[in-house]
Chains A and B, each alone.
Chain A
Amino acid sequence: MAGQSEGAKPMKLPKFDYACPATIEQAVALLAGADGTARPISGGQSLMPMLAFRLLQPSLLVDLRHVPGLATITINNDGVHLGAKVRWCDIETSAALKVAHPILTAAVRYIAHHQIRTRGTIGGSIAHADPAAEMPCVAVLCDAEIEIVGSAGKRKIPATSFFKGPLMTALQPDELITGIRFLAWPAGRRWAFEEFARRRGDFALAGIGVFFDVRDDKATNVHIAAFGVGDTPLRLANAEAALNNRPLTDAVIKGCCQAAREAVDPRDNTHGSSAYRRGLVDYLLGESLRRLTVNSSKACANAH
């Protein structure tokens, strides 16, 4: 049966053209040919709401669904490589990834809902750069590397310099994210990823990620990041310094949380005041660190 185009229909989205290239080269050429007005789309779980609200009115959407080789999870001694089209549900259901990089799995469980995680992709979330999104924070926390291809060829950008502001990144209009590379995750590493939202799946009012390696009863290689409390995910250097090379005593944890609280300056919004959200960073980090003082890897795994 042939469906017919109807006359009067609700049209929520702005008008755009659509292309479905078969190769990454074609995709880049289509983006480059549109003079900055084209957007790539894959899962579309952030882009479609942007279109529905008409915050974006692209001339062309370049669908990556037929571009091969971007949906692979690779785990080896160097670490983890996630193709840009790896979906949240792929990460959630990968038993190997849960062992190789457990904080990725833990963070994904906070992302939106089951019915969105079936389509949303890691590349899309990184490119969208919502300040309250989980995966940009994980990338910044873990010093991940963003792999990009554009008309001028390939390049890599550290996640720590990729996010420029709310929904703003270092990506050029003719560039695409092809993958994200995470360094290897040592087995004994202690970590936590926590956020607070009013309901499951809502944007976080504040969230934190933390990891460190224990050497001689001291926390070393401390990484701490916060999200939902600034224009981009934030690495909290002063909080890291307050914990690095120190034992996890109550006083040290308190100092670390104090440094974290002072490092963030969230805006007031309808769901919480700036002071409340700053307090959340302090609370989530403090609770996480106190849990991580328990000297057993099992307790650590049970952080989630």
Chain B
Amino acid sequence: MRTDVELNGKIFSFEVEPRTTLADCLRYNAKLTGTHVSCAHGFCGACTVIVDGQPVRSCLMLAVQANQSSVLTIEGISNDDDLTPLQKSFRKCHAVQCGFCSPGILMSAHALLTSEPDADEDRVREVVSGHLCRCTGYIPIVQAILEARPAYKKQRSELP
């Protein structure tokens, strides 16, 4: 079944079985393996991507349900060879250890700070609670997201 998706700003057309999850479509059809799959039933949050501006579990969405949608993955928020302010903040705060959960958390954080650049710690914790990380203990992750806020505020103020 044909599925047309605007993926990281480019139009793609995928031929998938209806049972293909969006996560598998991204990894196997688009070859974008930055989206990680861990539990594959919505529990862990590792596969989180942004669909039409909202963070979603890509294992809990069929690829065909994303037809005509805009999808943003971790590959789409990076600046070629440079890290984004959010990623730099994760490095600075040591918010990444094994890295398996990081792409999903970065996507949730990116969606959050894009729409709510003033998010307070409670709000950040609430959003991060949708992700499992078995390394960091979450504190550096929360810190990294909070420290990335000025960059998103600046970005927003520069919008036309």
Q: How far is the CB of B49 from chain A (nearest CB, A)?
A: 10
Give the residues in chain B near A52, CB-CB below 8 Å: 40-42, 59
Interface residues contributed by chain B, number (CB under 8 Å): 39
A197 nearest CB across to chain B (Å): 11
Chain A residues with Cβ below 8 Å from B60 are 44-45, 48-49, 116, 119
Q: Is B151's CB within 8 Å of the partner chain A?
A: no
Given contacts A10-B24, A49-B42, contact A113 B130 (CB under 8 A): yes
Would you list which residues of chain B between 62 and 95 have a CB under 8 Å from chain A? 62, 64-65, 67
A3 to B55, CA, bound (A): 24
- Does B18 lie within 8 Å of A17, measured CB to CB? yes
Contacts of A41 in B (CB 8 A): 62, 65
> Given A3-B12, A45-B42, A116-B60, is A9 in contact with B24 using a C-beta cutoff of 8 Å?
yes
Taking a contact as CB atoms closer than 8 A, the residue among B16, B29, B41, B130 that contacts A48 in the complex is B41
| Interface residue ranges of B109-158 to A (CB < 8 Å) | 126-127, 129-131
The smallest beta-carbon distance between B73 and chain A, in angstroms, is: 14
B56 partner residues in chain A, CB cutoff 8 A: 115, 118-119
By beta carbon, the residue of chain A nearest B48 is A115
Residues of A within 8 A of B130 (CB): 112-116, 201
Measured between beta carbons, the chain B residues less than 8 angstroms from A118 are 54-56
CB A241 to nearest CB in B, in angstroms, measures 38
Residue of chain A at shortest CB distance from B54: A118
Interface size on A, residues (CB 8 A): 39
Residue B36 is within 8 A (CB to CB) of chain A in the complex:
no
Instruction: State which residues 202-219 of A face B: CB under 8 Å.
Output: none
Chain A residues within an 8 Å CB radius of B57 = 45, 115-116, 119
Separation of A15 and B16 alpha carbons in the complex (Å): 12
Tell me which residues across on chain A come within 8 A of B131, comparing CB atoms. 115
| Chain A nearest Cβ from B53, distance in angstroms | 9
Residue among A4, A11, A63, A114 making CB contact with B19, cutoff 8 Å:
A11
Digitize B25-49: 1 where CB-to-A-CB distance is under 8 Å, 0 elsewhere: 1001110000000001110010010
Contacts of B65 in A (CB 8 A): 41, 44, 63, 65
B62 touches A3 (CB 8 A): no
Are A44 and B18 in touch, CB under 8 angstroms?
Answer: no
Q: Which residues of A contact B67 (CB under 8 A)?
A: 20
Contacts A18-B1, A44-B65, A115-B48 given; indicate if A201 touches B59 (C-beta within 8 A).
no
Question: Closest CB-CB distance, A259 to chain B, in whole Å?
Answer: 34
Return the contact of B16 from the options A5, A20, A44 (Cβ within 8 A): A5
A152 at interface, CB cutoff 8 A: no
Contact pick for A200, options B17, B41, B59, B129, CB 8 Å: B129
A window 94-131: CB within 8 A of B: 112-116, 118-119
A-B contact pairs, 29 of them (CB 8 A): A1-B10, A1-B12, A1-B13, A4-B15, A4-B29, A6-B28, A9-B28, A11-B19, A12-B21, A12-B40, A14-B19, A18-B18, A18-B62, A41-B62, A45-B42, A48-B42, A48-B61, A49-B60, A52-B42, A53-B41, A63-B62, A63-B64, A113-B130, A114-B108, A114-B129, A115-B108, A115-B130, A119-B54, A201-B129
